[in-house]
Each structure stands twice: as structure tokens, then as C-alpha cells.
């Protein structure tokens, strides 16, 4: 199945929820919609499901217009942020509910329910009511309900956001495996860059109802087309340093000069905005090519086994990600090191001019792992739940 959104817009009153979305999804593909809260992710899913009608534009399935078609006639399944199950039905009946309406015989229903319950480890719980389950089990039941019928479109709206960290990790890995076996278009929304990276597949970055960038997830991570995409797709947010390029000389933060090598070579002279993710800022030099930025510590924040050190160089605030739990005194003078070939270059309108050539420039962050470029992205999962793409 091919699901196509053709210049779809959704406005409610005067508010624009979705603006001119053009998207195509293929069977067997895994798609992540990444955006902050209220970016329009849920609206987009509702439009795909047919729960809402687009204000303008068309939705096509295999080239056929289904814009006005009722939801129940489409082969759609959806999992929500809240754990949605029928409260007075047992887990068995809950899972069976989508099948009962399709006039399937009882034996087949039973077989299907048991198969699905098996995958989600729900077999011992089939006689319980949703209220008698833990949050994770309730969400498993909801996921089982969406998997039991052969939906061609499987939509998951931040399904793991209300679960605790441990359960989230478990279920995410299970979901990965389930998606792999599905002959369906899987669309998964999230606010977390780390989750998007772990799911991989294709990504749609959305902000304030507008689609900013689409493409394979690691590719978009490595070349965010605009500063907005880079912000949405970085946690902690990407750091920006204003600077200029003048012939063969580059300057950042007014007075720090950087060599114009690698991807920085040949950029037209002018004012630019340089972006660098906090995992590419270091408090110790990593190589001879590193540029030093003198700064003052403003805040040091511990997240899992990571420490985010907020520093300031003149007018420029920066966040440095340090591994391990380290405390830095507020007001302490530090030197922040960055490899110039790690810098993203954006023009003042926010469009990408140049991005680091490979995930790992020569002499760069060797200790953080060398990754062959064609693998795109290697993930390191951290106890805090954050993932790092190197």
C-alpha cells in the first residue's frame, strides 16, 4: 500500500494545524514523525487515519482518493499516548474487539487473539480487566488491539510517553521487532530525538504545522536542513555561535579564528551561524585541530550518567555534554574545545550551507567510536534514556 498526502492542510477556526503537507509512505516502511508538543503530530496522524477530514488537499491510498471515506472502512489501527482500552471488557475481549465487528468465526478470533497476546506477553493476563493491569500491561493490551487485525496503516501516537523508563526501553525494542515483521505502513510520533534515532527508518520533522524536512532518519540527523530542524532534532538543543567567513579566514564569536578546512572550504564570504551539538563540545582538547573557546560555567546539570554543563562565552551560551557525573562550580573558568569540521554552517535565514562531511572527521572524537560513514548512525544508549548518534 502507498499512502499519499497531497498538499493536505487542516485549519480549525483561524488556527492552522497542518499546512500544506506532501508526504508519501510505502508498505513495510517505518516512519517517525518528530516534533515538539503541539507541532501537529497528532493532527497529522488523525488525518492519515481518516478521523479528521483535511480542510484542503487529498489523501490517496494506492493512488485512489480516500479523503472522504469513513474510518472503519479503511484498514487503520491506532495506539494512543493514553492507554485506551474498553474498561468493562477483559483483556481477551479488548484484543478481540476489532475482530468481532468483522464477522470472523469464534475459533479464528480465539486463535488470533492468542497469537497476538503471545507476542506481547499478555497470555497470563487475558482474563483480567484493564483496571487490574499495570500501565505497561495496559499499553501492551492497546498495542495488541491494534496488531490483531491486519491493518495496512499502523499509527502510534507517542505510545511510550506515559511509561516509566525501564518499560519504555523494553517495549521500544519489542515494537522494533514487531514493526519488522509487519506488512504495513508504520507511522510513529515522538518528541524525543533519541527515540527517533533508535527507531530509524524515515523521518518527518514537523514544527508549527509545517513539514520541515523528510528523509532517512540518520541522514536528516546528520544534515538538518534548517536551524529549526537542528533544534527539534537535538537534545540538549544544538548550540549556535555567530561568526563570519572572509576569504580564507573564519571567525566565530567575534574573535576566535577557525581554519577553513574540510566542508568549510570554499564557502562564500559573509555572516553565518555555526551550529554544534553538545556532544561535540569538549572540556579537554581532542586533537591539535581543536579550537578553544574560553567560557564561564553557569550551571551544571546531571542527567543519568551524563553531565550537561551550561557555559557562556561573552554573549554566546553553550551546553557541553560530558560523560560521567561531574560537578563544576558555578563561575568556574573553563575552555571548551570544538573541532571546526564538526560545525554546521547556516546562513542568517537559517538554511543549511554546509554540514560536517562525515560523522567522524580525522583526528576528531576518536574515543567516542569510529563509525563507517555508510552506516550513517551508530547509537549509544545511555541509562538516562538518551541516545547519542555519533
Partner 1 sequence: MNKWEDNKAWFLVLPVFIVVAFSAIIPLMTVVNYSVQDIFGPGQRYFVGVEWFKEVLNDSRLHDALWRQFLFSGLVLLIEMPLGIGIALLMPKKGWGVSASLVTIALPLLIPWNVIGTIWIIFTRPDIGLFGAAINSAGIAFDHTASPLHAWITLMFMEVWHWTPLVALLAYAGLMAIPEAYYQAARIDGASAWATFRYIQLPKMRGVLTIALLLRFMDSFLIYAEPFVLTGGGPGNSTTFLSIYLVKVAVGQFDLGPAAAFSLIYFLIVLLFSWLFYQALQNVGKGEER
Residue 173 found at the interface with partner 1 (CB under 8 A): no
**Least distance to partner 1 from the beta carbon of 82, Å?**
5
Q: Which is nearer to partner 1, 94 or 355 (CB)?
A: 94
Residue 182 found at the interface with partner 1 (CB under 8 A): no
**Least distance to partner 1 from the beta carbon of 255, Å?**
54
Residue 147 found at the interface with partner 1 (CB under 8 A): no
Residues in a beta bridge with 120: none
**Least distance to partner 1 from the beta carbon of 121, Å?**
21
Please identify which residue in 5, 21, 39, 49 interacts with partner 1, judged by CB under 8 A: 49
Residue 38 found at the interface with partner 1 (CB under 8 A): no
Please identify which residue in 77, 156, 295, 318 interacts with partner 1, judged by CB under 8 A: 77
Question: What gap in Å lies between CA 352 and CA 146, rounded to an integer?
Answer: 39
Residue 128 found at the interface with partner 1 (CB under 8 A): no
Please identify which residue in 19, 93, 169, 347 interacts with partner 1, judged by CB under 8 A: 93
Please identify which residue in 28, 36, 38, 72 interacts with partner 1, judged by CB under 8 A: 72
How far lies 54's CA from each of 59, 154, 207, 210, 258, in Å?
8, 19, 18, 14, 49
Residue 51 found at the interface with partner 1 (CB under 8 A): yes
Please identify which residue in 17, 92, 272, 282 interacts with partner 1, judged by CB under 8 A: 92
3-state SS track over the chain: CEEEEEEEEEEECCEEEEEEEEEEEECCCEEEEECCCCCCHHHHHHHHHCCCCCCEEEEEECCEECCCCCHHHCCEEEECCCCCCCCCCCHHHHHHHHHHCCCCCHHHHHHHHHHHHHHCCCHHHCCCCHHHCCHHHHHHHHHHHHHHCCCCEEEEECCCCCCCHHHHHHHHHHHHHHHHHCCCEEEEEECCHHHHHHHCCEEEEEECCEEEEEEEHHHHHHCCCEHHHHHHCCCCCCEEEEEEEECCEEEECCCEEECCCHHHCCCCCEEEEEEECHHHCECCCCCCCCEEEEEEEEEEEEECCEEEEEEEECCEEEEEEEECCCCCCCCCEEEEEECHHHCEEECCCCEEEECCCCCCCCCCCHHHCCCCHHHCCCEEECCCCCEEEC
**Least distance to partner 1 from the beta carbon of 185, Å?**
15
**Least distance to partner 1 from the beta carbon of 322, Å?**
40
Q: Which is nearer to partner 1, 113 or 203 (CB)?
A: 113
Please identify which residue in 12, 65, 86, 384 interacts with partner 1, judged by CB under 8 A: 86
Q: Which is nearer to partner 1, 73 or 329 (CB)?
A: 73
Please identify which residue in 60, 104, 119, 129 interacts with partner 1, judged by CB under 8 A: 129
Residues 273-302 that bind partner 1 (CB under 8 A): none
**Least distance to partner 1 from the beta carbon of 93, Å?**
7
Per CB under 8 A, the segment of 84-92, 196-204, 329-337, 351-359 that binds partner 1 is 84-92
**Least distance to partner 1 from the beta carbon of 306, Å?**
34
List of residues contacting partner 1 (CB under 8 A): 46, 49, 51, 71-72, 76-78, 80-82, 84, 86-90, 92-93, 97-98, 101, 129, 145
Amino acid at each position: 500500500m502507498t499512502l499519499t498526502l497531497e498538499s493536505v492542510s487542516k485549519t480549525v477556526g483561524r488556527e492552522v494545524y497542518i499546512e500544506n503537507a506532501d508526504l508519501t509512505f510505502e508498505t513495510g516502511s517505518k516512519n517517525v514523525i518528530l516534533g515538539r508538543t503541539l507541532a501537529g503530530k497528532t493532527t497529522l496522524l488523525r488525518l492519515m487515519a481518516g478521523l479528521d477530514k483535511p480542510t484542503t488537499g487529498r489523501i490517496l491510498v494506492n493512488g485512489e482518493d480516500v479523503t472522504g471515506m469513513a474510518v472503519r472502512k479503511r484498514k487503520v489501527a491506532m495506539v494512543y499516548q493514553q492507554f485506551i482500552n474498553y474498561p468493562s471488557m477483559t483483556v481477551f475481549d479488548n484484543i478481540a474487539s476489532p475482530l468481532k465487528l468483522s464477522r470472523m468465526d469464534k475459533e479464528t478470533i480465539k486463535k488470533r487473539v492468542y497469537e497476538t497476546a503471545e507476542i506481547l506477553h499478555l497470555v497470563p493476563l487475558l482474563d483480567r480487566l484493564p483496571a487490574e493491569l499495570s500501565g505497561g500491561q495496559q499499553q501492551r493490551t492497546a498495542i495488541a488491539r491494534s496488531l490483531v487485525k491486519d491493518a495496512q496503516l499502523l499509527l502510534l501516537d507517542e505510545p511510550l510517553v506515559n511509561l516509566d523508563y525501564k518499560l519504555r526501553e523494553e517495549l521500544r525494542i519489542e515494537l522494533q521487532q514487531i514493526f519488522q515483521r509487519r506488512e504495513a505502513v508504520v507511522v510513529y510520533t515522538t518528541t524525543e530525538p533519541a527515540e527517533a534515532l533508535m527507531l530509524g527508518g524515515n523521518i518527518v520533522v514537523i514544527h508549527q504545522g509545517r513539514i520541515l524536512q523528510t528523509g532517512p532518519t540518520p541522514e536528516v540527523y546528520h544534515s538538518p536542513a534548517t536551524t529549526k530542524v537542528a533544534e527539534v532534532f537535538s537534545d540538549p538543543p544544538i548550540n549556535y555561535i555567530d561568526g563570519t567567513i572572509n576569504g580564507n579566514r573564519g571567525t566565530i564569536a567575534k574573535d576566535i579564528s577557525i581554519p577553513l578546512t574540510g566542508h568549510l572550504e570554499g564557502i562564500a564570504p559573509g555572516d553565518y551561524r555555526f551550529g554544534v551539538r553538545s556532544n561535540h563540545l569538549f572540556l579537554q582538547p581532542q586533537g591539535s585541530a581543536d579550537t578553544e573557546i574560553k567560557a564561564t560555567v553557569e550551571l551544571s546539570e546531571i542527567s543519568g550518567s551524563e553531565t550537561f554543563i551550561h557555559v557562556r562565552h561573552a554573549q554566546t551560551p553553550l551546553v557541553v555534554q560530558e560523560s560521567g557525573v561531574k560537578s563544576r562550580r558555578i563561575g568556574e573558568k573553563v575552555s571548551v574545545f570544538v573541532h571546526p569540521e564538526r560545525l554546521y554552517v547556516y546562513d542568517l535565514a537559517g538554511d543549511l550551507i554546509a554540514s560536517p562531511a562525515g560523522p567522524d572527521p580525522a583526528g576528531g572524537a576518536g574515543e567516542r567510536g569510529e563509525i563507517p560513514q555508510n552506516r550513517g548512525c551508530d547509537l549509544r544508549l545511555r541509562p538516562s534514556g538518551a541516545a547519542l548518534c555519533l
